[in-house]
C-alpha cells in the first residue's frame, strides 16, 4: 500500500467509562475557564489559553439530559508542518457529567504529519449519528504515540448529468441595476472593459458552458476583471458579495489554458497544475471547484479540489488522475505539495479568494509558506489575482508582497452600500430576549431558507437544539462538525429539508446557496466587514433578500457607528435609537454617517502606501484567528 493511503489522523475516543447516561440527539456543551470563542472574542466559560501552549478547555457532550457539558483541555501549540488536515490541532479531553459523553482528542502540535480530530456538535433533524469510537484495530502503521485511525470519509460521487452540472438560479429583478454601478480601476494602462461575453473572445467550449450556466451578460467585476486577467496583469479586485467574482477569474484562466492546448495527464506521479486557487473554508473552496468543473465541462482541462476532513488517499488519487486547476484550503494544499504529489514549476496563476481573510494574521504564514515553496515561480513570473468584498488598508499593504509592482486595483461600487438588494432591519434586544425575538422572526419566514449567524460553536449547537424543540426544522454548521456532517447539513439546507441553518463564521464568506431569503445576525460579529459578508448570503445575483440584525447596546455599542454607515450607504432606514448610540459611541470625532461609494479604495491613491513594510505595525489578528484550523 502506498504511503499516502495511510492517513495519519487524530484519535477520537468515546470515553464511555467517564460519562453517565449518555443521551442521544441533544447538543454538545463546552465548559472550562476562560479563552476565546470561534471568532476570537473573549468567551468566559468556553476555554482558556496559556501563552504559546494554547490550552483550551472544551467538553464534548451529546446528552439530552442534565449537565450535558464536559470538561477537558486542548493543547493547540503550534500548527502541523505537514498539515495533512488543519481542522483541529491539539488535545481535547472530556469527562462528561450526567447526560454527557466524554471524549479524548489527540493531535500533536509540533512538526510532522498533520492530524485531524473528530469534532462533536449538534445533530440536525433526521441526521445520522456518526460513531466516533476509536478502534485500535483501525488504521495502518503506528505513527508515534499519537497514532490513530485514518480518516476514511470519501465524498459522494458527483453527478455527470448536465442538468446537475449546470444547475443555476435565475438572476433577480434587480440584475440590470448592476449596469449603474460605479467602477474604478486604478493603476497604469488598464485594458478596456468588455460589454458582452462575446467580446471576451472565449473559445467555443467555454462559450457553450457559459450559456448553459444561464449567463447572459457580464457583471461589472466580470466586465473589467476578465480583460485585465486576459492581459496578464496582476489584480486586486473588490466587489460586493454575489456579484460574480468567481467567474471573473475562472473564465480568463480556463480560456488561456485551453488556447495553449493544456490537457490533464494521468501518466505522472507528480502533477503540475497551471493554476492554484486558495480559499479559507472547505465549503467555499468546494463551491469554487464546482464552478471550475462546470466551465471546464467537455474540455481537456481538469480541476481538482483538496481540503481537510476527507481521506487523504482519496484526495491524492484524484490528483493523480490529472490536475490543471488545483483548488484547495491552505493546510491540505501545503500537505499535498509537501508529500511531493504536486509540483509548482508550471504554475501560471495564483488566485486568493476572500483575499482579506487569506492575508490576515490567521493565514498569512501559510500564504508566505506557499509562495516560498520549492519550484514556486517568483511573483514576477506568475500572475497573482486577489478577490474579496472588503479590503482594509493594512491587508492591501500585505498584498504588495505577493503582487507585481504594476498591479491593478478594481473597485466595483457597492450598489449604494453593502447591497441595496438586501433589506436590512436592526432590532434592539437584550441578551435574554434574543431567543424569543428569533422565534418571532422565524414565524414570519415559514419554510423560506434562513441563515442564523451566531458567534460561537457552542451557541450554534444550543440555538439549533432550541429551535428543534420549538418544532422548527433546523440544522447547524461549524468547525467542530465532521466533514460528512457539514456536507449533510448544507445538503439538508439546500434541499429545504431543514429550512433554517444556524452557522458560525465558517459559512459567512462566499457560500452561494440558492434561494436564501433571510439572514439573521443573532450575534453581531465584532467587525463590520464580517457583517457585510454575512448579509451577502442573501440578495445575490440581483435577487432580493432580508437581513435582520439583533443589536444589544451593551454588547454591540462599538459597532454602532459602522453599522449606521452601512445602513445609510445602502439607503436603508436607520433607527433613531441606533443613530443616538452611534453619536455617543467612543471615538466619534468627525463621525459622518454617509455611506461610501466604494467598499474599499486603492491605498496607493492616499500616498501613504509603501511596498516596504518595515516599520509597519503588525496586522491585528482577525476575528477568527484563534480558530483558523476549524475554518478549514
User: What are 547-575's pLDDT values in tens digits?
Assistant: 999 999 999 999 999 999 989 887 889 99
Residue that has been written with the C-alpha cell 469554487 in this structure: 288
Do 478 and 531 have their domain in common? yes
Distance CA 595, CA 564 (A): 9
Measured CA distances, 266 to 183, 257, 315, 321, 347 (Å)? 43, 17, 14, 5, 18
* 381 or 507, which is more confident: 381
Do 505 and 562 have their domain in common? yes
Do 445 and 307 have their domain in common? no
Residue 159 in any domain: the answer is no
Mean pLDDT rounded to a whole number for the chain:
76
Do 449 and 313 have their domain in common? no
- Based on the structure, what is the number of domains in the chain? 3
Least confident stretch, 61-70, 191-200, 274-283, 508-517: 61-70
Give the model's pLDDT for residue 542.
61
**In the predicted model, is pLDDT for residue 64 greater than 70?**
no
Distance CA 484, CA 309 (A): 8
CB 90 within 8 A of CB 628: no
**In the predicted model, is pLDDT for residue 178 greater than 90?**
no
CB 375 within 8 A of CB 339: no
Q: Tell me, what DSSP letter sits at residue 194?
A: P
Give the model's pLDDT for residue 75.
41
Do 365 and 435 have their domain in common? no
Residue 205 in any domain: the answer is no
Residue that has been written with the C-alpha cell 414565524 in this structure: 443
Q: Tell me, what DSSP letter sits at residue 380?
A: G
CB 36 within 8 A of CB 70: no
CB 357 within 8 A of CB 622: yes
Percent of the chain residues past pLDDT 90, beyond the cut = 51
- Please report, for the domain that includes residue 352, its CATH number: 3.40.50.300
Nearest to 386 by CA among 578, 536, 235, 560: 235
Distance CA 474, CA 462 (A): 11
The band of 583, judged by pLDDT with boundaries at 50, 70 and 90, is: confident
The band of 606, judged by pLDDT with boundaries at 50, 70 and 90, is: low
Give the model's pLDDT for residue 362.
80
Q: In the predicted model, what is the mean pLDDT of residues 326-344? A: 97
Instruction: Give Cβ neighbours of residue 600 (< 8 Å, ≥ 6 apart).
Output: 238, 390, 391, 392, 396, 411
Do 432 and 359 have their domain in common? no
Q: Which of 411, 432, 458 is the last residue of a domain?
A: 411
The band of 7, judged by pLDDT with boundaries at 50, 70 and 90, is: very low
Give the model's pLDDT for residue 597.
52
User: What are 93-112's pLDDT values in tens digits?
Assistant: 444 343 434 443 444 444 44
User: What are 358-401's pLDDT values in tens digits?
Assistant: 998 689 999 999 999 999 999 999 999 999 888 888 889 999 89
**In the predicted model, is pLDDT for residue 351 greater than 90?**
yes
Q: In the predicted model, what is the mean pLDDT of residues 477-502? A: 93
Do 116 and 12 have their domain in common? yes
Do 338 and 450 have their domain in common? no
Least confident stretch, 234-243, 318-327, 408-417, 528-537: 408-417
Which DSSP helix (H) or strand (E) runs through 249? helix 245-259
Pairing type for strands 303-306 and 325-328 reads parallel
Give the model's pLDDT for residue 224.
97
Residue 290, domain extent:
244-411
Give the model's pLDDT for residue 170.
62
**In the predicted model, is pLDDT for residue 130 greater than 90?**
no
Do 483 and 398 have their domain in common? no
CB 39 within 8 A of CB 624: yes
**In the predicted model, is pLDDT for residue 223 greater than 50?**
yes
Do 450 and 571 have their domain in common? yes
Residue that has been written with the C-alpha cell 488598508 in this structure: 393
Residue 141 in any domain: the answer is yes
The band of 607, judged by pLDDT with boundaries at 50, 70 and 90, is: low
Give the model's pLDDT for residue 404.
97
Amino acid at each position: 500500500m502506498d504511503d499516502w493511503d495511510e492517513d495519519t489522523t487524530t484519535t477520537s475516543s468515546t470515553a464511555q467509562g467517564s460519562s453517565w447516561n449518555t443521551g442521544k440527539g441533544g447538543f454538545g456543551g463546552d465548559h472550562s475557564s476562560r479563552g476565546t470563542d470561534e471568532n476570537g472574542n473573549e468567551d468566559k466559560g468556553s476555554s482558556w489559553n496559556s501563552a504559546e501552549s494554547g490550552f483550551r478547555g472544551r467538553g464534548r457532550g451529546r446528552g439530552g439530559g442534565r449537565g450535558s457539558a464536559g470538561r477537558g483541555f486542548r493543547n493547540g501549540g503550534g500548527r502541523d508542518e505537514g498539515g495533512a488536515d488543519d481542522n483541529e490541532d491539539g488535545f481535547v479531553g472530556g469527562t462528561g457529567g450526567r447526560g454527557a459523553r466524554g471524549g479524548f482528542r489527540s493531535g500533536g502540535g509540533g512538526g510532522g504529519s498533520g492530524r485531524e480530530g473528530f469534532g462533536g456538535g449538534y445533530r440536525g433533524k433526521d441526521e445520522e449519528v456518526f460513531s466516533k469510537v476509536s478502534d485500535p484495530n483501525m488504521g495502518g502503521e503506528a505513527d508515534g504515540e499519537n497514532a490513530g485511525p485514518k480518516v476514511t470519509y470519501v465524498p459522494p460521487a458527483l453527478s455527470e448529468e448536465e442538468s446537475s452540472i449546470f444547475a443555476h438560479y435565475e438572476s433577480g429583478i434587480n440584475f440590470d441595476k448592476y449596469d449603474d454601478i460605479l467602477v474604478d480601476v486604478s493603476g497604469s494602462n488598464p485594458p478596456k472593459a468588455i460589454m458582452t461575453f462575446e467580446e471576451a473572445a472565449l473559445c467555443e467550449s467555454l462559450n457553450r458552458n457559459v450559456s448553459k450556466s444561464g449567463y447572459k451578460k457580464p457583471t461589472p467585476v466580470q466586465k473589467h476583471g476578465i480583460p485585465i486577467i486576459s492581459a496578464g496583469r496582476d489584480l486586486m479586485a473588490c466587489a460586493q458579495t454575489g456579484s460574480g467574482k468567481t467567474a471573473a477569474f475562472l473564465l480568463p484562466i480556463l480560456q488561456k489554458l485551453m488556447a495553449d492546448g493544456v490537457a490533464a495527464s494521468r501518466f505522472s506521479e507528480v502533477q503540475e497544475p497551471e493554476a492554484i486557487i486558495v480559499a479559507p473554508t472547505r465549503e467555499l473552496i468546494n463551491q469554487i471547484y464546482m464552478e471550475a468543473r462546470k466551465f471546464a465541462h467537455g474540455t481537456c482541462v481538469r480541476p481538482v479540489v483538496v481540503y481537510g476532513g476527507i481521506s487523504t488517499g482519496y484526495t491524492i488519487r484524484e490528483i493523480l488522475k490529472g490536475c490543471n486547476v488545483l483548488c484547495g484550503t491552505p493546510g491540505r494544499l501545503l500537505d499535498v505539495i509537501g508529500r511531493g504529489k504536486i509540483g509548482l514549476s508550471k504554475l501560471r496563476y495564483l488566485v486568493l479568494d476572500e483575499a482579506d481573510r487569506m492575508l490576515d494574521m490567521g493565514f498569512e504564514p501559510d500564504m508566505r509558506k506557499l509562495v516560498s515553496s520549492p519550484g514556486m515561480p517568483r511573483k514576477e513570473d506568475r500572475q497573482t489575482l486577489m478577490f474579496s468584498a472588503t479590503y482594509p488598508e493594512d491587508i492591501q499593504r500585505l498584498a504588495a508582497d505577493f503582487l507585481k509592482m504594476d498591479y491593478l486595483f478594481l473597485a466595483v461600487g457597492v450598489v449604494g452600500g453593502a447591497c441595496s438588494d438586501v433589506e436590512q432591519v436592526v432590532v434592539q434586544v437584550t441578551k435574554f430576549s434574543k431567543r424569543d425575538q428569533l422565534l418571532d422572526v422565524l414565524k414570519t419566514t415559514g419554510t423560506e431558507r434562513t441563515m442564523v449567524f451566531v458567534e460561537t460553536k457552542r451557541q450554534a449547537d444550543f440555538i439549533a437544539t432550541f429551535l428543534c424543540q420549538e418544532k422548527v426544522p433546523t440544522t447547524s454548521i461549524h468547525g467542530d462538525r465532521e466533514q460528512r456532517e457539514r456536507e449533510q447539513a448544507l445538503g439538508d439546507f439546500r434541499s429545504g429539508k431543514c429550512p433554517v441553518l444556524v452557522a458560525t463564521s465558517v459559512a459567512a464568506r462566499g457560500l452561494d446557496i440558492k434561494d436564501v431569503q433571510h439572514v439573521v445576525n443573532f450575534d453581531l460579529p465584532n467587525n463590520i466587514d464580517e457583517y457585510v459578508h454575512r448579509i451577502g448570503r442573501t440578495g445575490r445575483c440581483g435577487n432580493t433578500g432580508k437581513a435582520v440584525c439583533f443589536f444589544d447596546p451593551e454588547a454591540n455599542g462599538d459597532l454602532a457607528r459602522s453599522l449606521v454607515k452601512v445602513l445609510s450607504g445602502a439607503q436603508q432606514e436607520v433607527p433613531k435609537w441606533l443613530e443616538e448610540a452611534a453619536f455617543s459611541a467612543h471615538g466619534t470625532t468627525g463621525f459622518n454617517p454617509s455611506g461610501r461609494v466604494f467598499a474599499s479604495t486603492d491605498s496607493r491613491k492616499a500616498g501613504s502606501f509603501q511596498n516596504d513594510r518595515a516599520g509597519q505595525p503588525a496586522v491585528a489578528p482577525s476575528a477568527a484567528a484563534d480558530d483558523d484550523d476549524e475554518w478549514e
